Amino acid sequence: MSRKKQKNIKPINFSELLTMAQNYKSLILDKKTDLYQTRSFFIEKFKNQISSGSKKLYWKNFNYNMFSEKNKINERNFEKNNIVSFEKSSDVSIVINDGVITSNKNLPNNIRITEFKEISDDDVCSYIKKTDKLNDPFVSVNNGSCDCGFVLDVKESKSPQIIHIKNISSKAGLYQNRQIYNISKNVKITFIESFEGYSEQFNNTISQWEVKENANVYKYSFGSRAGSHKNSQSVFSEFVEQHKNSTCNFYSFYFNEGGLGFSGKIRNNILFNLIGENITSNQWSVSLLRDECFVDNDVRTQHMSPNCSSSQVYKGIYNDRSKGRFDSCVYVAKDAQKSDTVQSNNNILLNDNASVNSNPQLEIFADDVKCAHGSTIGQIDRNALFYLRARGISEVLAKKLLLTAFVGDIVESINNSDILSLVSEEVEKQFHN
């Protein structure tokens, strides 16, 4: 079904973004330093990307008009307005307000957090060069001009730990953040990310992970990286490098209603690089969208070593004029024998105005692998609905049961009882009528 064109959509202001990046580069006094040369390289790459037409199709779904400091609002007492309510008194809690660390609580000796602007020039160069594999204009401009964020170093502890990362968007404008996680050998840790926004804002954030040997990382991301303001938008690029015998289970949840709700548009550029043997890498995502929200997932997993397993399981339920996009590729190198990967994207459209584009891909250069992929886009199963109605269940309740079951396998895979209860409650809220 054709849709009415949105009015007053303004094109992305690449020229203003380029000017900002060049102004930032000019602050580096010594033009002979590696930092200056590296920044210059990525700014030039950004110029070439936008001039050569590499502004990908997903940009048409975004409405960029927020590269200024207009419409600032008063800051609120964010500590009293936590999204994730089950935080224990003993948990580590770190609050990031517009890219700046404003507080940390219960930080143990094995965890160190450092402002991005405080690390050495050599470390800055090393970090930004690694993300060149995320070939995207906004990765390039972040590499050329980011100046806020943090580096989190986690050493081995005697017991598993939970860290809450609370990202706050309090002011209108453009923010380029860098979040770097260095996870040492044998670490067992859970990260719980929450995002809350109170202003019209565009976030261009890069998150980098290096997960060393035998480490086990769970990450749960709630809400929107764009924030909860209806005009907020975000490009979030995540680069994860896993070493041998490590395990990563990364979850993301995008809900319109309830305490984890958001409104806005978000683009995820995700790359998992498996560079050692016996790695387990799983991605789970649930999008339950209404209104004109848009979630775009561009996901890449690279099997570079043998005997590794990975999964990409993304599910979405779309109502009103909401949109989804899933563009995924699993790459299996020639030497990555015995690779085992599952790639799945399943979607339900609740009306004719919602839409999804899905494009799962496999690139396999090894001959001894187990790889599967699939994608579905459809409506509620009418036969199943009829079966439930025939047994005296109301239509509202029947739809609620079917939709809840649709995302049930992801929800049930959660290994934290508090998070499981919270997510289950939020799923219930989506189908109250």
Binned at pLDDT 50, 70 and 90, residue 11 comes out as very low
Q: Tell me whether residue 314 is exposed, middle or buried, using C-beta atoms within 10 angstroms of its C-beta: 0 to 12, 13 to 18, 19 or more.
A: buried
DSSP string of 334-369, one letter each residue: TT-TT-EEEEEEEEEESSTT-EEEEEEEEEE--SS-
Helix axes 14-26, 137-145, angle to 10 degrees: 30
pLDDT band at 301 (very low <50, low <70, confident <90, very high): very high
The label of the residue with tokens 């909860």 reads 228
Between residues 139 and 430, which one has the greater pLDDT?
139
Confidence band for 258, pLDDT divided at 50, 70 and 90? very low
Helix (H) or strand (E) holding 265: strand 265-274
Which of the four pLDDT bands, split at 50, 70 and 90, describes residue 20? low
**Residue 339 and residue 302: Cα distance in Å, rounded?**
11
| Spatial separation of the C-alpha atoms in residues 211 and 197, rounded to whole Å | 29
Q: Are 269 and 298 in contact (CB under 8 A)?
A: yes
- 298, 324, 367, 314: which is closest to 135 by C-alpha? 298
Amino acid present at 305: S
Percentage of residues of the chain with pLDDT beyond 70: 79
Residue 245 exposed, middle or buried by CB count within 10 Å (0-12, 13-18, 19+): middle
The sheet carrying 355-364 orders its strands as 111-115, 148-154, 173-183, 201-211, 233-242, 265-274, 294-303, 323-332, 355-364
Residues 222 and 193: their CA atoms lie apart, in Å, by 6
**Model pLDDT for residues 204-214, shown as the tens digit of each residue:** 889 999 999 99
Alpha carbon 307 to chain centroid distance? 26
Q: What is the mean pLDDT of residues 120-145?
A: 87
Q: What is the mean pLDDT of the chain?
A: 81
The pair phi, psi for residue 61, each rounded to 5°, is: -85, 0
Residue 160: Cβ-neighbour burial (10 angstroms; 0-12, 13-18, 19+): exposed
What are 136's two structure tokens? 């995207």
Distance, in Å, from the CA atom of 297 to the CA atom of 311, rounded to the nearest integer, reads: 15
pLDDT of residue 359: 93
* pTM beyond 0.85, yes or no: yes
Write down how long the chain is.
433
- Whether the pLDDT of residue 70 is over 50: the answer is no
Q: In what order do the strands lie in the sheet with 370-378?
A: 100-105, 92-97, 161-169, 188-197, 216-222, 247-255, 280-289, 309-318, 340-349, 370-378
Closest alpha carbon to 224 in 205, 210, 240: 205
How sure is the predictor about 154, in pLDDT bands with cuts at 50, 70 and 90?
Answer: very high
SS3 labels along 157-208: CCCCEEEEEEEEECCCEEEEEEEEEEECCCCEEEEEEEEEECCCEEEEEEEE
For range 279-295, the mean pLDDT: 90
DSSP 291-310: TT-EEEEEEEEEE-SSS-EE
Residue pair 192/164 in contact (Cβ under 8 Å)? The answer is yes
> What 8-state DSSP symbol labels residue 12?
P
Least confident among 60-69, 70-79, 261-270, 400-409? 70-79
Q: Is the pLDDT of residue 257 over 60?
A: no
Indicate if the pLDDT at residue 81 is higher than 60.
Answer: no
Higher pLDDT, 85 or 80: 85
